[in-house]
Amino acid sequence: MFPTETLVAYLAAVLLVVASPGPDNILAISRGLSQGRLAGALSSLGAGLGIMCHSVAAALGLALLLQTSPLAFWVVKAVGAGYLIWLGYKAISARDLVSFLPAQRQSLGRVFATGLLSNVLNPKPGLFVVAFIPQFTSPARGSVPAQMLVYGAIFAVLTAIIFALLACFAAQLSAWLQRRPKAVAGLNIGAGLTFIVAGLSILALGRRSAA
């Protein structure tokens, strides 16, 4: 079903996409910094599951609704942008995205849910999946929806693994950061601004865009 050269090209492209800075990997890194490897891994798992949700929607044709229905696209775009902007505002105002205060530690369930929602509510990964994955499918190789699901699963697993590795590496810096409150404040502001910019970019997103 998957010629070697096609699979290698797909893996290379996915690795470049996953390694690019964005709100999801910044969120995973922040969890790793402030709450350790397990929290970072759960946030990463949430992001990977979010990619799988987008892939299932694309395989079922549901994602096309975002490209054909202005109202549906506007609603998803507004919710996704609002969620990311809210996360950014909280990080800047409360300084709680990266925090070592016991009172500001989040439950592992909430860490996972935030990682999942930040991806699922963002229409950009969904549009990216719709535009990106079909380029590697072919009706001559069998069911196209099945191929999209497999490609989506690969994308999701690589996302979870790479984000988790980044979060685990970040966890090694926790002790160093705890002695540098100004650096922690700077990280919260930087991460918060990244979320806000990501949210504003969603508001500017067009239905035909996959960027």
CB 88 within 8 A of CB 196: yes
- pLDDT tens digit at each of 211 positions of the chain: 678 888 898 999 899 888 888 889 999 999 999 899 999 999 999 999 999 999 998 888 776 666 677 787 788 788 888 988 998 998 898 887 888 887 678 899 999 999 999 999 888 888 788 778 888 888 888 888 899 999 999 999 999 999 999 999 999 988 888 888 888 899 889 989 988 998 888 888 765 544 4
Tally of domains within the chain: 1
Tokens of 60: 């079922």
Instruction: Fill in the DSSP letter of residue 98.
Output: S
The answer as to whether 58 is a domain residue is yes
The answer to whether the predicted template modeling score (pTM) of the entire model surpasses 0.75 is yes
The answer as to whether 209 is a domain residue is no
Q: Helix %, strand %, coil % for the chain, to 5? A: 80, 0, 20
The answer as to whether 210 is a domain residue is no
pLDDT at 180: 87
pLDDT at 210: 42
Query: In whole angstroms, what is the distance from residue 36 CA to residue 44 CA?
Result: 12
Q: What is the CA radius of gyration of the chain?
A: 18
Cα separation values, 119 from 48, 126, 135, 137, 160, Å: 8, 9, 22, 24, 12
Provide the residue range defining the domain that includes 100: 4-203
Distance of CA 4 to the CA centre of its chain: 27
The answer as to whether 50 is a domain residue is yes
The answer as to whether 208 is a domain residue is no
CA angle (194 as vertex; 165, 55 as ends), nearest 5? 60
The answer as to whether 211 is a domain residue is no
